Homo-oligomer: A and B are copies of this chain.
Amino acid sequence: MALIGCGLMGGSFALAAKRAGLVKRIVGYSKSPSTTSRARQMGVIDEEASSALQAVSGADLVLLAVPVASTESTLANIKHLINPDTLVMDVGSTKMDVVASARRALRDRFGCFVPAHPITGKEVFGVDHADVNLYRDAQVVLTPTELTKVAQLRQAEAIWKAIGSHVTSMAPEQHDAALAASSHAPHLVAMAYMNSLLSQDGAHRMLSLAGPGFRDFTRIAAAEPQMWRDIFLANRSEILKQIQSLQHMLGSYEAALLSDDQPALEHLLREASSTRAQWKQGKLYTPESLSKHKTTA
């Protein structure tokens, strides 16, 4: 296996793939030599490569775990060492741009590429936080195209299942629209909320009185700035739709508050609260309900 990008996501995948006995030997490459070196010291990879191309040499499986904006250049670098049986996957949070990049970079080898998005992560980043259980019970969305080879797709499904993930497939555009709503917008809003606090007089007191609600609401605001800059730009149109929808809803709350419209306010709050409670109980197909389904089947 070649691991290109030995950060949190890539490192955790390497650890899980090893534990599941899926790979014999992992050759890793990161842009920063110190990261590659640290990954080997930690046992995340077996061997350090000095280039992405070197890492891919002789690999059956290539995992690309780099910022989505680096997908095209990285794949173009390794293209001529990808043979028809190689499986290439990514772990990017956006899929339309990744698919387009891969199509341009891989050309006649594009069928070997299975776009993948494991919906998991941490608010900390870097190989030091690599976690063998990061993908356990996580949902993984595969977004194959009409050119994706079935053999590679089946292999990809088997690999993610073997490390404990729940696999679903959908079109890249469906993925990007849904993830803009369920993940990208929350990240942007949590971050904008932190900026909003900081822009105000009394920010220090506000932060000093922050409790567990603040802690959880803003956990994702600590995410890696460059990675999220790329995700926001890559999925810009869907994210803008989500921000507009939220702003419209905030306007409804403002109107209810300004007019002291208690029934309207309570109606909104009841809808929000009961939906979140149902989601938690797995009534809206959470990973937990999928997992339950699986074990009883």
Contacts and interface: CB of A to CB of B under 8 A. Distances in A.
A254 to B, nearest CB: 6
A217 B258 CA distance: 26
Contacts of A120: 211-212
Nearest to A242: B196
A104 interface: no
A100 interface: no
A216 B280 CA distance: 11
Interface residues of A, number: 95
A187 to B, nearest CB: 6
A260 to B, nearest CB: 7
A271 B197 contact: no
Contacts of A123: 276
A284 B195 contact: no
B178 A205 contact: yes
A85 B226 CA distance: 59
A200 B229 CA distance: 25
A188 B222 CA distance: 21
A246 B253 CA distance: 13
Nearest to A241: B200
B226 A266 contact: yes
Interface in A5-37: none
A284 B221 CA distance: 16
A contact patch SS: helix
Contacts of A276: 123, 194, 218-219, 221-222
A208 B284 contact: yes
A245 B275 CA distance: 27
30 contacts: A121-B213, A139-B209, A139-B211, A175-B209, A178-B205, A178-B208, A181-B202, A182-B214, A187-B213, A190-B217, A194-B271, A194-B275, A196-B246, A198-B275, A208-B285, A208-B286, A210-B279, A213-B220, A216-B217, A216-B219, A216-B220, A221-B273, A221-B275, A225-B270, A228-B269, A232-B257, A232-B265, A236-B257, A243-B250, A247-B250
B138 A192 contact: no
A178 B210 CA distance: 9
A195 B268 contact: yes
A38 B179 CA distance: 43
